[in-house]
Amino acid sequence: CNAAKPSSSSSVPSSKSPGANLVMNFPWSREVEQHLKDSFHLSKFRPLQLRAINLTMTGKDLFLVMPTGRGKSLCYQLPAVCSKGFTLVVTPLVSLMEDQIMYLKSIEVSAVMLNASSSKDHAKTVMAGITDPKGPFKLVYVTPEKIAKSKLLMSRLEKAYNANLLSRIAVDEVHCCSQWGHDFRPDYKLLGILKRQFSKVPLLGLTATATSSVLKDCEEILCVPKPITLTASFNRTNLYYEVRIKDSDNDASISDIASLVKSRYKDQSGIVYVFSQKDAESVAAELQKRDILAYPYHANMDPDDKSQVHRRWTSNKIQVVVATVAFGMGIDKPNVRFVIHHTISKSIENYYQESGRAGRDDRPADCIVYFGFADIFRISTMVVMENVGQQKLLQMVDYCQNVDRCRRSLMAVHFDEVWDNEGCSQMCDTCRHSKDYTTMDITQHAREVVQIVELATSMDEKLTPLKLVEAWMGKGPAKRRKMIQTTTLPRRQAEAVVVRLLLQGYLREDFSFTPYTTYFYMKLGRKVPLLKSQTHTLNMKMRTTGTGAAVVISLTSSSSSDVWLMFLSSMSL
């Protein structure tokens, strides 16, 4: 393998691509279909699964990019069962291995694993089985460390290869190869040895998160010069996306959540994601007070309590888990009907992952996020030290506030995909209520806000976002009220205007650290000079009817300097 050699992969996103006509007329087709039903107890394939299976059964090297929970494992487990010999599966985490082995045992597929904690006896059995022509195992799971460090394993694999017993190599979470990916594992770098030693064995790399540059890196590291790449759409068409405005009064949002859980989601299973461990405890307690079987889950709980909550929720004995993001790994419950975010996520990618735990059974499910003004700055504090943390948070805020575009299309940008409004089929609140929005001119409001910030700056005063809104609403000291133009807008709209000005670059955040906390202040943004021009106008879109009282506001600008503005706004996020 020449790692520096340029290699090209063919991407296969549409049904007209190579492999699309590989349907059910192969020598293995009947067996594949039978095992799907009889061994795996599944009624039909999900998009791309059959195509991936046929390609790997044909002996092609393949990269499969598919969102989490869509069923990548089946694409090597089913071929393993239908092939002679065994499939070698490289997995980064022992816990993932254990989950799979447990599952495969339950459906009577013979699978074993080798990792650092395997006993000598167990390792001996596995090593013997690998070269046994009777083929006692269909799948052998190993950690990348084993491939990199165990000479004995490599020599056994060599023997199996020469005896045609090594039928396929699956590298799960293949993005771990690349330093540019988010989960780099040094031992993945050494996996190129597999294809160098066992060149005739097809390799299948699987991941949910890979850009084309990461995949290119993986190709070179794994020494698979021209893999076919199958990419499934990240658009989850059965999920309904909705944003609700969260009042500064926390009780109101909890009551709202409770009434949803008790009416729309009666007897149905769901998750409420919260910001902190303290919130997990308090929101769960509040929901319990309202007769809902809700339990907290966070990293600081006793491991036994955590697994008990997980187990009881999985078996429908608990209706709601109120969790921090610690509730994520290994959750594979198919019938989750709602994922409610009591607080926004810190990025759209995180939101997609967290909300994506809804509706894995392909039936309709809801993803609702409560968008609160103060929460933006709570999360800012948390991400302030992260590299592009602030920028990612503002993208999430934009997702919540922007009603000019379908929520799906706002998400799609982050997966290098284009999902247009048609791909949504009214499965988001913006598309469903598109007739309920009107546009209003808020130029004057923007000038008032900017004037307050200017005044504070001139007096060398620091204005927190909350203070800014309150001053504008006339809640500041009487002396100050005389100096500024206060507003009659209701609080929600006042907050929405401030957020939008922040997103569009008329305001910006500044912060200062104390040993205990980080404070956020509002400063003038770089677009402020545009407001001085009499021809410059700002419009916002507002929801005028409908439930949820979600006054959702969106802002557009127009003026003689429109082109300049478009340039600036493209830089603002």
Distance separating alpha carbons of residues 418 and 462, to the nearest angstrom: 41
Distance separating alpha carbons of residues 370 and 350, to the nearest angstrom: 15
CA end-to-end distance (rounded Å), the chain: 41
Retrieve residue 329's tokens.
Answer: 């790994």
What's the full length of the chain, in residues?
573
Smallest gap from residue 45 Cβ to Mg ion (A): 16
- 203 and 218 Cβ atoms separated by less than 8 Å: no
Smallest gap from residue 14 Cβ to ligand ADP (A): 20
For Mg ion (CB under 5 A), the number of binding residues is 1
Q: Which of 272, 278, 305, 558 is nearest to 441 (CA)?
A: 558
User: Binding pattern to Mg ion, positions 67-96, x when CB under 5 A?
Assistant: -----x------------------------
Per-residue three-class SS string for 60-125: CCEEEECCCCCCCCHHHHHHHHCCCCEEEEECCCHHHHHHHHHHHHHCCCCEEEECCCCCHHHHHH
- 369 and 344 Cβ atoms separated by less than 8 Å: yes
Distance separating alpha carbons of residues 269 and 365, to the nearest angstrom: 10
Select from ligand ADP, Mg ion, none the partner in contact with residue 46, using the beta carbon and a kind-dependent cut-off of 5 to 8 Å: ligand ADP
Smallest gap from residue 96 Cβ to Mg ion (A): 7
Smallest gap from residue 406 Cβ to ligand ADP (A): 25
Which of 57, 66, 530, 553 binds ligand ADP (CB under 6 A)? It is: 66
- Cβ proximity to ligand ADP, 70 vs 346, nearer residue: 70
Residue 556 has φ and ψ, to the nearest 5°, of -130, 155
For ligand ADP (CB under 6 A), the number of binding residues is 13
User: Binding pattern to ligand ADP, positions 30-59, x when CB under 6 A?
Assistant: ------------x--xx--x----------
- Cβ proximity to Mg ion, 99 vs 187, nearer residue: 99
User: Is 171 an interacting residue with respect to ligand ADP (CB under 6 A)?
Assistant: no
72 is catalytic: yes
- Cβ proximity to ligand ADP, 72 vs 185, nearer residue: 72
Which of 17, 39, 58, 68 binds ligand ADP (CB under 6 A)? It is: 68
- Cβ proximity to ligand ADP, 81 vs 397, nearer residue: 81
Residue 188 has φ and ψ, to the nearest 5°, of -65, -25
- Cβ proximity to ligand ADP, 157 vs 206, nearer residue: 206
Which of 74, 171, 339, 484 binds ligand ADP (CB under 6 A)? It is: 74
Residue 427 has φ and ψ, to the nearest 5°, of -100, 30
Segment 312 to 371, residues that bind ligand ADP, using CB under 6 A: 332
Smallest gap from residue 253 Cβ to Mg ion (A): 34
Q: Which residue is nearest to Mg ion (CB)?
A: 72
Find the radius of gyration of the CA atoms of the chain.
27
- 287 and 258 Cβ atoms separated by less than 8 Å: yes
Retrieve residue 295's tokens.
Answer: 């339990």
What residue type is 212 in one-letter code? Answer: S
- 218 and 63 Cβ atoms separated by less than 8 Å: yes
What residue type is 169 in one-letter code? Answer: I
Torsion sign across C-alpha atoms 266, 268, 272, 277: positive
- Cβ proximity to ligand ADP, 1 vs 42, nearer residue: 42
Select from ligand ADP, Mg ion, none the partner in contact with residue 70, using the beta carbon and a kind-dependent cut-off of 5 to 8 Å: ligand ADP
HSE-CB for 388 with a 13 A CA cutoff: 8
- Cβ proximity to Mg ion, 72 vs 492, nearer residue: 72
Select from ligand ADP, Mg ion, none the partner in contact with residue 69, using the beta carbon and a kind-dependent cut-off of 5 to 8 Å: ligand ADP
Select from ligand ADP, Mg ion, none the partner in contact with residue 467, using the beta carbon and a kind-dependent cut-off of 5 to 8 Å: none
**Segment contacting Mg ion (CB under 5 A): 64-72, 149-157, 360-368, 510-518?**
64-72
User: Binding pattern to Mg ion, positions 352-391, x when CB under 5 A?
Assistant: ----------------------------------------
DSSP 300: T
Which of 48, 63, 65, 71 binds ligand ADP (CB under 6 A)? It is: 71
Smallest gap from residue 323 Cβ to ligand ADP (A): 19
| DSSP of 249-293 | SHHHHHHHHHHHHHTTTTT-EEEEE-SSHHHHHHHHHHHHHTT--
Which of 13, 69, 135, 225 binds ligand ADP (CB under 6 A)? It is: 69
- Cβ proximity to ligand ADP, 33 vs 404, nearer residue: 33
Element (DSSP H or E) covering residue 127: helix 120-130
Select from Mg ion, ligand ADP, none the partner in contact with residue 332, using the beta carbon and a kind-dependent cut-off of 5 to 8 Å: ligand ADP
Q: Which of 563, 561, 568, 547 is nearest to 244 (CA)?
A: 547
- Cβ proximity to Mg ion, 65 vs 301, nearer residue: 65
Which of 9, 73, 231, 401 binds ligand ADP (CB under 6 A)? It is: 73
- Residue tagged active-site, from 60, 72, 195, 333: 72
Distance separating alpha carbons of residues 62 and 48, to the nearest angstrom: 12
Smallest gap from residue 173 Cβ to Mg ion (A): 7
| DSSP of 37-55 | HHTT--SSPPTTHHHHHHH
DSSP 24: S
Smallest gap from residue 129 Cβ to ligand ADP (A): 24
User: Is 236 an interacting residue with respect to ligand ADP (CB under 6 A)?
Assistant: no
Element (DSSP H or E) covering residue 401: helix 389-401
DSSP 435: G
CA angle 402, 403, 404 (to 5 degrees): 95
- Cβ proximity to ligand ADP, 73 vs 235, nearer residue: 73
Which of 35, 60, 72, 543 binds ligand ADP (CB under 6 A)? It is: 72
Smallest gap from residue 238 Cβ to ligand ADP (A): 13
Smallest gap from residue 69 Cβ to ligand ADP (A): 5
Binding region for Mg ion (CB under 5 A): 72
Binding region for ligand ADP (CB under 6 A): 42, 45-46, 49, 66, 68-74, 332
Q: Which residues are catalytic?
A: 72
